[in-house]
Structure 1
Amino acid sequence: MKQFIITSNDAGQRLDKFLKKLMPNAALSLIYKLNRKNNVKVNRKREDNEYKLEEGDNVQLYVKDEEYEILTSVKVPVPVIGTGTRDGLNPKDIVYEDGDLLIVNKNPGVIVHPGDFKTTELSLIAQVQDYLGAKLNSLTFKPSLIHRIDKDTSGIVMIAKTKPSLDVMLKALQSNKIEKIYLAVCLGVPPETRGVIKKKLRRLEHAERENKIIIDEEGGQTAITHYQVLETGIQGKYSLIECRLETGRMHQIRVHMSSIGCPILGDNIYGDKQENAFAKRTYGIGRQLLHASRIGFIHPSKKVPVTYTAKLKEDMAELVGR
């Protein structure tokens, strides 16, 4: 018999969903059969598959050791060497950590989640799981991304270490209560030092190398970006611009800045290809110079406002002299 004490990380989910996460190789039909034949008990009595687990519940599972091993074993894909290591995060990239959250200054070129690409390339979430390892107090919950940034965008990414903190932060994100500030190196100078870009965006489902997001005032979703020019004349023709997202659409800053004639330097989708080629030859710029620099929110358990900042990565810092 196997026994599992439910923590706050595992509470709130249905019994059958919990068992499926616990035994990923088990078909739902097998899980239902185990429960039907009294091989699953909660606090020593049978419960329906729909039963919502509570913190402190004792789940008993009556299966043989060899069967349990087969049902729980998971093959982990081997990552591509070069984007990270399997021994965790670089401590210098950790902006903040407590029992609820981990905030990381992501390097450019690292995908945040393998589900975003059909690849075995090492992802940020894999690095996080390696770093946290056995420190997590959960049977089924794994560290989860609260939000995402593009592969070639650097800067702040927040990860929830507990289910309660994930629930709180996702609600805050959906209600636009998380302030996200980005820094971008753009070609040219905007028409105004400060401004608000309100242009609806629509995603092209089957786009590949061409623009994935277009401006569509009739069929698009509301997208609002506040910007402020911090510095001009960088290398004679670039500007450093601070962008604050009021909404969080895919590629929002990249499309909005391009739409006012100031594309982000190095952006191979929405940028100036000729200028990108020049910047690569001259300055070694091989990605869009967009950095998630600051984030502010109400802490999920402390219930106080907090703000965290991530330093510019080397390629961007060298170009702007910071």
Structure 2
Amino acid sequence: MEEHTFVVEEDTDRRLDVYVVDHLPHLSRSFVQKLIAEGYVTVNSAIQRPGYKVRRGDRIDVTVPQPEPTTISAQDIPLDILYEDDYIIVINKPKGMAVHPAPGSWSGTLVNAILAHCSQLSGIGGVERPGIVHRLDKDTSGLIVVAKTDQAHRVLQQQIQKRTAERKYTALVWGETKFNEAVVEAPIGRHPTDRQKMAVIKDTSRYTAREAITRLKVLERFRGFTLLEAKLETGRTHQIRVHCSFIGHPVVGDPVYGGTKRAVPQTYSKLQQQELEQLIGSLQGQALHAHSLVFEHPVTLERLSFEAPLPPDMQALIDWLRKNG
């Protein structure tokens, strides 16, 4: 069991759940909201809502109970494991696989597969997210590190919070960017009207949003498309997809943030347009892949670096563009 006490020393307009996550970055916001709902977080000895706005002088007590025994079923699903020891596992996650169970998707997830492979996982993420240090969207492929022990989990999340861990993605986006390198610094929160989506929030006094920073670098340009490397400085939900859409270059194949609504440029011949449309249509999700992961081993402190090749559907589209674009 963990117990923490904070006294708010500054004037702030932050929500209670956001304040706790900022001070306990190894806990996810959804997990903190669950703690608040179950009475494990109090303000001045009283239970408050997650949206309570903390004030100077508030005393916040947080109790993190021992994790419950997992009830998520183990499933014998093949895993592409790049590295494993007694503390961590590095996996190349395929497209179409959710990272953890959730309503409507209680099986076939990365967690189900890991539980069949390894019985010991960190409990910090809660019953439904054992070992999960960071996430990838279901239809985003690539590298993810999973913690086997609570200590490894804390150290890895601290690296992500302090930005000493490096997470780089390859993204194929619509349009030809005017920049070679860019930093997108725009806060992200739940969409004001469509709660199933995230969005860049301009009015942060009215809507809750968190700092989000993405560094973009052009790798290659094609007719009507750009291949980008995206480096995460923060790790908000759908961050790269939201930021690329925000700057007018949605990720190709992204069904949520405009990546399926663009028409193939008419600068291509009719036959080429048909071929392009077929390749884009065959993408199993957005053309976004976590290709590089660098961090310090949580125990040995050795700097580890991993690379994962692009999935075949994304590689085929890029190869075609290199030949014809």
**TM superposition score normalised by structure 1:** 0.66
CA contact (8 A) 2:90 2:143 kept: yes
Alignment match, 1:118: 104
Structure 1 residue 273 displacement after superposition: 3.2
Q: Relative to structure 1, is the Cα distance of residues 76 and 243 closer, same or farther in structure 2, using a 3 angstrom cutoff?
A: closer
Is the 8 Å Cα contact of residues 201 and 217 (structure 1) preserved in structure 2? no
Distance in 1, Cα, partners of 2:98 & 2:84: 21
Contact 1:200 1:217 in 2 (8 A): no
Q: 1:202–1:216: 8 Å Cα contact kept in structure 2?
A: no
Q: Counterpart in 2 of 1:273?
A: 260
1:230 aligns with 2:230: no
With over 3 angstroms needed to count, the CA separation of the structure-2 counterparts of 1:267 and 1:225, relative to structure 1, is: same
- Poorly superposed stretches of 4+, deviation over 6 Å: 137-142
Take 1:265 and 1:89, find their aligned partners in 2: how far apart are those partners? 28
Q: Which of 113, 118, 143 is residue 127 of structure 1 equivalent to?
A: 113
CA distances 1:165-215 after superposition (whole Å, capped 9, x unpaired): 112112222222221101101111221111111112221377355x43233
2:94 corresponds to which residue? Answer: 107
- Paired with 1:137 and 1:225, the residues of 2 have a C-alpha distance of 30
Of stretches 192-201 and 117-126 in structure 1, the one that deviates more from structure 2 is: 117-126
Matched to 1:218, the amino acid is T
**Equivalent position of 1:146 in the other structure:** 133
Measure, in 1, the Cα distance between the counterparts of 2:236 and 2:171: 17
The residue number in structure 2 matching 1:291 is 289
CA contact (8 A) 1:89 1:131 kept: no
Task: Determine helix, strand or coil for the equivalent of 1:171.
Answer: helix
Larger Rg over CA atoms = 1
Task: Give the partner amino acid of 2:187.
Answer: K
Q: Distance in 2 between matches of 1:166 and 1:286?
A: 30
Q: Could you tell me how far apart the structure 1 residues matched to 2:122 and 2:315 are? A: 39
Residues 183 and 291 in structure 1, CA contact (< 8 A), matched pair in contact too: yes
2:24 match: none
Counterpart position of 1:241: 228
Alignment-derived partner of residue 307 in structure 1: 305
Whole-Å separation in 2 of the counterparts to 1:120 and 1:203: 24
> How much identity, in percent, do the aligned residues show?
31
Q: 1:139 to 1:226 in 2, by over 3 A?
A: closer
**What is the deviation of 1:271?**
1.8
TM-aligned CA deviation for residue 138 of structure 1: 9.4
- Unaligned segments of structure 2, at least 5 residues: 4-62, 265-273
| 1:294, distance to aligned residue in structure 2 (A) | 0.7
Name the CA distance, whole Å, in 2 between partners of 1:100 and 1:285.
Answer: 34
Deviation at 1:295, TM superposition (A): 1.1
Indicate yes or no: 2:315 matched with 1:317.
yes
SS at match of 2:262: helix
Distance in 2 between the 1:109 and 1:243 partners?
21
2:202 pairs with 194, 209, 216, which one?
Answer: 216
The match for 1:3 is none
Q: Do the aligned partners of residues 192 and 299 (structure 1) sit closer, same or farther apart at CA in structure 2, a change above 3 Å counting? A: same
Q: C-alpha displacement at 1:316, in angstroms? A: 0.9
1:200 match: 187
Distance 1:265-1:87 versus aligned 2 partners, 3 A rule = same
What SS does structure 1 have at the residue aligned with 2:108? coil
Distance 1:113 1:244, change over 3 A: same
The answer for unaligned runs of 5 or more in structure 1 is 1-11, 15-49, 54-71, 79-85
**Post-superposition offset of 1:218:** 3.2
| Structure 1 position 264 matched with structure 2 position 251 | yes
Query: How far apart are the structure 2 equivalents of 1:205 and 1:121?
Result: 31
Task: Please report how far the alpha carbon of residue 287 of structure 1 lies from its aligned counterpart in structure 2 after TM superposition.
Answer: 1.0
Match of 2:168 in 1: 181
The residue type equivalent to 2:218 in the other structure is V
Shift of 1:309: 1.1
Are 2:200 and 2:246, in contact at CA under 8 Å, matched by a contact in 1?
Answer: no
Q: CA deviation at 1:146?
A: 0.7
Q: What is the Cα deviation at residue 148 of structure 1?
A: 0.4
Rounded Cα–Cα distance in structure 2 between residues aligned with 1:197 and 1:302:
34
Three-state SS of the structure 2 residue aligned to 1:145 is coil
- 212-221 or 245-254, which moves further after superposition? 212-221
Once the 2 structures are TM-superposed, how far is the Cα of residue 75 of structure 1 from its aligned partner? 6.3
The alpha-carbon deviation at position 291 of structure 1 amounts to: 0.6
Q: Per-residue displacement from partner, 1:264-295 (whole Å, max 9, x unpaired)?
A: 00111112433379866344124111111111
